């Protein structure tokens, strides 16, 4: 997985086969389902083998906000994006700890309100080649 950041945008570039799974999961379970696939893939990857306390690390959607489905843009049909076009508030965060009350957490992509400049778009895109 590659991470690309631009002003107010975070893009994760993943294997095509994983992207296909995420597209299907997005239709059924929205953002929460896509995040679960990402987390499972990371925890089962070679890169994660030597990490301590990996069981305490999680990627989650903010539990009190919405769980919207991602969409694609007309000029970029091969991506999933969560952006400010989604009217409901949403957030993606990583956590480290047993719970939000006792651990660390950081929101790295969110839409605080429609038509607000306080947002960071979240995109998932397939690699050009695997």
Average predicted confidence (pLDDT) for the chain = 83
Task: With a cut of 80, say whether residue 31 has pLDDT above it.
Answer: yes
Q: Is the Cα dihedral 98, 90, 83, 40 positive or negative? A: positive
Q: Is the pLDDT of residue 79 over 60?
A: yes
Q: What pTM does this model have?
A: 0.79
Contact 124, 12 (CB under 8 A): yes
Place of tokens 């778009």: 121
**Contact (Cβ atoms closer than 8 angstroms) between residue 82 and residue 65:** no
- The predicted pLDDT at position 104 comes to 80
Q: What is the pLDDT of residue 80?
A: 93
Percent of the chain with pLDDT over 90: 26
Span 63-83, average pLDDT: 87
Which is more confident, 6 or 33? Answer: 33
Instruction: Report pLDDT digits (tens) over 45-60.
Output: 888 888 888 888 888 8
Q: How far apart are CA 90 and CA 112, in angstroms?
A: 7
Instruction: Break the chain into its structural domains and give their ranges.
Output: 2-126
pLDDT in tens, 87-121: 888 888 888 887 767 778 777 888 876 555 677 88
- What is the rounded distance in angstroms from the CA atom of residue 53 to the CA atom of residue 60? 17
Show the CA angle centred on residue 78, arms to residues 106 and 112, nearest 5°.
30
What local confidence, expressed as pLDDT, does residue 64 receive? 81
pLDDT at 114: 53
């Amino acid at each position: 997985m590659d991470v690309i950041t631009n002003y107010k945008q975070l893009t994760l570039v993943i294997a095509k086969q994983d992207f296909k799974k995420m597209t299907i999961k997005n239709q059924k379970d929205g953002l929460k389902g896509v995040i679960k696939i990402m987390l499972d893939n990371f925890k089962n990857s070679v890169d994660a083998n030597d990490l301590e306390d990996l069981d305490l690390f999680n990627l989650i959607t903010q539990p009190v906000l919405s769980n919207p489905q991602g969409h694609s843009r007309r000029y970029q049909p091969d991506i999933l994006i969560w952006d400010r076009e989604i009217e409901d508030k949403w957030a993606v965060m990583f956590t480290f700890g047993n719970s939000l009350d006792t651990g660390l957490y950081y929101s790295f992509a969110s839409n605080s309100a429609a038509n607000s400049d306080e947002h960071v778009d979240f995109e998932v895109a397939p690699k050009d080649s695997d």
